[in-house]
Amino acid sequence: MKNNQFLICSLLLIILTAFCSISYSAEEYRLKPKEVMILEIEIDPSDKEVYSFQYELSFNPEDMELISQEEGIFLKYDNTKTYVINKIENREGKAQFGCTRLGSQKGVTEAATAAIIKFKPKDTEKSEIMIKNIKIVTVKGSELEARELGPITRQVIIDDESKTSSCKERISVPDEDAYYTYTFESDEAQKQQLKKKPDEQQISKKEKAEKTASADITVKSKDDNNLIIGISITVLVIAIGIVIFYLVRKR
């Protein structure tokens, strides 16, 4: 009887340990060699109504080639029309992407993929990608509020043992006050607003130095995420297994 109980506890421990060790979080993207890297930008409104967003990319053109940037389902989930700005300059190693809703004064409150970026690594084992000048505009009454988030810098590592070439960045809208506001105008005005850089836009009474808010940013690979949490849970499960083992032996 004791042997059977010990066997059951051991199997349970192995299963739980394997399950909890599936994912990890890191400051890098690990990719399969010679495969296109797919990077999804996901936005979490955090109980706000997101109306538009934009970002810029910076990368080493000798290491990486930016193949495409595409709009996700985030801003058009309810079939609302959208307008996209998409500029890629591979020679300079930079790109710009922006998207705004049109014909509506309501924003999006559900998290979803906002943009899909595809890179092709060249003959390199390690490189770097920076997502910067991230701006998210939310709806507040009859006005739009803009927040600028700090840059995200990630290492890109080509790894023969990697199981995927798909990665994800999840960006949550911060609670900090917006650094500038403006009112709803025509669709054409919204398009022009999206084209402007933050320095060219209307600034609120707050000092410009206070405008940058820290983002709640995490990296999640579709194959691996939350390393620290995974290790912590694994250790906890092992400890529980040891306690169960001794309790069974005492019976």
Q: At 19, list the tokens.
A: 């399950």
pLDDT higher than threshold 50 for residue 10: no
| Long-range contacts of residues 229-238, Cβ cutoff 8 Å, at least 24 apart | 229/23, 229/25, 230/20, 230/21, 230/22, 230/23, 230/24, 231/21, 233/20, 234/17, 234/20, 234/21, 237/13, 237/16, 237/17, 237/20, 238/13, 238/17
Tally the residues of the chain: 251
Q: pLDDT tens-digit profile of 16-42?
A: 333 333 223 357 888 888 788 899 999
Q: pLDDT tens-digit profile of 154-175?
A: 998 888 887 778 889 999 998 8
CB 59 within 8 A of CB 126: no
Q: What backbone torsions phi and psi does residue 63 show, to the nearest 5 degrees? A: -105, -35
3-state DSSP assignment of residue 77: coil
Region 91-95 average pLDDT: 96
Q: pLDDT tens-digit profile of 52-68?
A: 999 999 999 999 999 99
Region 221-241 average pLDDT: 49
Residue type, 189: A
